[in-house]
Amino acid sequence: MSRIESVEVFVASPGRTFVTLRITTTDGVTGLGDATLNGRELAVASYLRDHVVPLLIGRDPARIEDTWQFLYKGAYWRRGPVTMTAIAAVDTALWDILGKTAGLPVHQLLGGRSRDGVLVYSHASGTDVPSLLDDVERHLELGYKAVRAQAAVPGVGGTYGVRKGRVYEPAASELPDEQPWDTEAYLDFAPRYLEAVRERFGFGFHLLHDVHHRLTPNEAARFGKSVEASRLFWMEDPTPAENQESFRLIRQHTTTPIAVGEVMNSIWDVQHLITEQLIDYVRTTVVHAGGITHLRRIFDLAALHQVRTGSHGATDLSPVSMAAAVHLDIAVPNFGIQEYMGHADETAEVFRTGVTFADGMLHPSDEPGLGVEYDEKAAERFPYQRRYLPVARRLDGSVHDW
């Protein structure tokens, strides 16, 4: 019987920092998992090396559910982003191994395709309205059928969500970039540039917008009401989700769909939001919500309550996570949309993924497993670099929420 023979943890920064787990069985089959927690990567790497790897040696790689429960319940200190990201890496690697052993792509193990491709959206942004409109046009010409739009607020020194280079990456400095924030200026400006997008390009594509948790429930309700004519696919993270009951207030005042969940790590974190139908899309991810096994559980709960999937897919998910997400997306019945930004050229030197983009959709590889490879030698050319996400400050100097 095959057993887990070795488990390796790699930390490299090809364009951004990724933590990658590789499990090898006694039969010589390898599986990859993503363990990246943006801005806190080394915490997960240590959790894996010091606490999880010793528990895996000698285990049956086919006992995926049992291993998940063993790592989750056996730790006693449950949930949280570090624990769930570490478990996700193991779980994803074991699904990769199972697919290779069975000679099937992972989506076949999950029940097969429910659709031909996975609808994705990408990020258009600008320092002002004209540059935003140009970027939206560029994405539509690339074939995207859904675009997220963000623009810098005039007179405010920095706005999170605006791309500075070819690839959007917010974690770009060795110390947190402290960016100013003005809620009233944002509430006045954002609805106008979303309206400008619709005026120029019409309604033949999906338009999305990310609020980044930065509004109170009442402010979020006001924003959602003000953009109803722009028919957003969703407004993302309109208010901090710790107080989940606050989403009921937003619901009472606007029909703009709500998407939440990228910073949540378990089914219990989103249970109330889903069962009370306080959101329309759940944005939990493979890498931060316990892997394929647990994310499928979240998606199944969501399906019971007419909530659709909309997983986070920024550049802080490695190509391993993106491949796993697409395999799951194409199988689940309540799929909504998948975020997709692409990675830096350096990332492509380290990871080879079979996921392909065409006609506004992603398509998973039909290779056995996830169809992803990791080039350890190439990764050595990109040593770890510490990077932090930005911090928002109100104009009075106090720290604002994301």
Q: Which residues are catalytic?
A: 160, 212
Give residue 143's region: left, alpha or beta (phi > 0; psi -120 to 50).
left
Q: How far apart are CA 69 and CA 10, in angstroms?
A: 24
Read off φ and ψ for residue 382, nearest 5 degrees: -125, 75
| CB neighbours of residue 142 within 10 Å | 11
Taking the C-alpha atoms of residue 113 and residue 389, their distance in angstroms, rounded to an integer, is 36
128-134-140-146 Cα dihedral, nearest 10 degrees? 0
Q: What size, in residues, is the chain?
A: 402
| Among the listed residues 301, 317, 293, 291, the one whose alpha carbon sits nearest the alpha carbon of residue 267 | 301
Beta-ladder partners of 258:
235
Spatial separation of the C-alpha atoms in residues 332 and 308, rounded to whole Å: 10
Percentage helix, strand, coil for the chain under 3-state DSSP, each rounded to 5: 35, 20, 45
Q: How many CB atoms lie within 10 A of CB 76?
A: 6
What is the C-alpha to C-alpha distance for residues 79 and 77, in angstroms, rounded to an integer? 7
Residue keyed to tokens 């405010």: 156
